[in-house]
Structure 1
């Protein structure tokens, strides 16, 4: 399918809407908790991708996995950490806390790229990192019962760390002439997440209702938007993708608010606005400079 720029923007917005349903859907689970939630979502992601990828890329997708080398498997491991940490974090703290914590991913990516690839970090990005740090501090400092959110925050922080590591590995490999296809790496990540969380999920407590919702997440919240986002990334510039991806934070908080009654606190809204504002300004200034 050939995408124009306008269609890619619209499709990326749709992708963020699909990503954002995880929080509100999780709040409607009846008895599934923690690692079992992750297991079922990852399992249904594997099933969905085993259908979608051969239809999209043919049997060559399995050849790419076999011949992908260490970089593809490291990328797959990073995806598995993201899959697992995200869902576990949602069971430990609020949707808003998880999403705002994940929004710092571009800043962590910039730091890792500087450390391991030698990418220069502009002054505007250092300023944005400081502003985002202040926003995170304000968000959690304003909550009286910090201990009830700290564990979930630390788990959620593993998502941007894994995402930044993934990006760094991919960029390093491409700089050395290896072109990693991220879609097969997502399948590898879903398989690893499924196998890793299976023994931690016993005894199973999910009802048929829960399994239906988690199957929905595996297909609609991960498998389909993953494929669509890769298509969009081939048309949109990196700053555009980064800015559009922030819509997941907004959509996710609103869906949890109106769909599950999870009202974000004032400190979360203020700190979150500072984090997102820092990222938006950083990306827009960088975009204008490159243009």
Structure 2
């Protein structure tokens, strides 16, 4: 079958489930830490949302997207200057536009899907991001996935299944679940594109995605009025939770394999219930704790294995 996007101009990365031999170990570690940092930032989303009592969810999407856009724009202006920022937007090309649209679609589908199906279903389907990313690079580029990565992906999916298994209510909606399935698909696609085009800076792409999501929310919201206190929470929700998380993710995903980037991103599923429990006193169910421990163990085991492999490669190349 033809690839949905053309091969990259520079040589493509090596095996999706392994560490590129030419990539310095320090850059690999930085990339992994940045991607996990994005999951850490995004994991506060549920705890922050608990502080908001705004009936129209599209209002939250608008203000969150607005502050996310402003944060990412300010970040680029400080880092690259006005001319550099304009140049980044001009040079991001179709890969940047595609990644931005992926983030826009994911955020929009999330809001609509939870109106038709359970949050547990959305979370469970979201665990498919690492699998979808691995399948995409395998189908479109023929890149082999290592056995360790497949094992870790399977463990993560089992762990998320355990976490949400006690939350199923029997409510099923083909529309809601179909929209929820789009979320991991487009997020996995964004991960693969970011990794396949490491020479393209994706920060302007995420800024574009936030802006586009905000414009959609603007047309859907019935009332954008919020209190000063809510506005402060929405600023944290948009700038630090959404904007900072996106900046960390697209920066780190350029440095590590697609499957590993998606795998590290599932750390959000583990940490999210922890912050809600600590801040709001909502203790997760035993199955949620058990599934979270299983996912965290898979992530740490996989990272330890890959770091040791990189050290052996560096010693052999020395």
TM-score (norm 2): 0.71
Of residues 23, 48, 59 in structure 2, which corresponds to 1:25? 48
Matched, 1:57 2:77: no
Q: Give the match for residue 71 of structure 2.
A: 48
Classify 1:61/1:100 alpha carbon distance in 2 versus 1 (closer, same or farther; 3 Å). farther
**Offset of 1:42 from its aligned partner?**
0.5
The answer to whether the Cα contact below 8 Å between 2:277 and 2:283 also exists between their aligned partners in 1 is yes
For the aligned residue pairs, the C-alpha RMSD in angstroms reads 3.8
Q: CA deviation at 1:109?
A: 1.2
* Structure 1 unaligned regions, length at least 5: none
1:119 aligns with 2:139: no
Distance across 1 between alignment mates of 2:53 and 2:86? 36
Residue aligned with 1:147, SS: coil
Query: Is 1:209 aligned with 2:224?
Result: no
Instruction: Tell me the distance in 1 between the aligned counterparts of 2:298 and 2:110.
Output: 23
Stretches of structure 2 lacking an aligned partner (at least 5 in a row) = 1-25, 313-318
- Residue 256 of structure 1, CA deviation: 0.8
Query: Which has more helix, going by share of residues?
Result: 1
Task: Say if 2:307 is the partner of 1:254.
Answer: no
* Alignment match, 2:244: 224
Matched, 1:39 2:62: yes
Q: 1:218 to 1:113 in 2, by over 3 A?
A: same
Tell me the SS of whatever aligns to 1:198.
helix
Indicate yes or no: 2:290 matched with 1:267: no
- What is aligned with 1:132? 156
Aligned residue runs from structure 1 range 30-109, under 5 A: 30-58=53-81, 59-85=83-109, 102-109=126-133
Secondary structure, counterpart of 1:263 in structure 2: coil
- Conserved? CA contact 1:30–1:207, under 8 Å: no
Of 134-143 and 197-206, more deviation after overlay is shown by 134-143
Q: Aligned partners of 1:192 and 1:30: how far apart in 2?
A: 24
Aligned residue among 190, 209, 212 for 1:166: 190
Alpha-carbon shift at residue 193 of structure 1 (Å): 0.8
Determine the C-alpha separation between the residues in 2 that align with 1:84 and 1:282: 32
CA distance in 2 between counterparts of 1:101 and 1:133 reads: 9
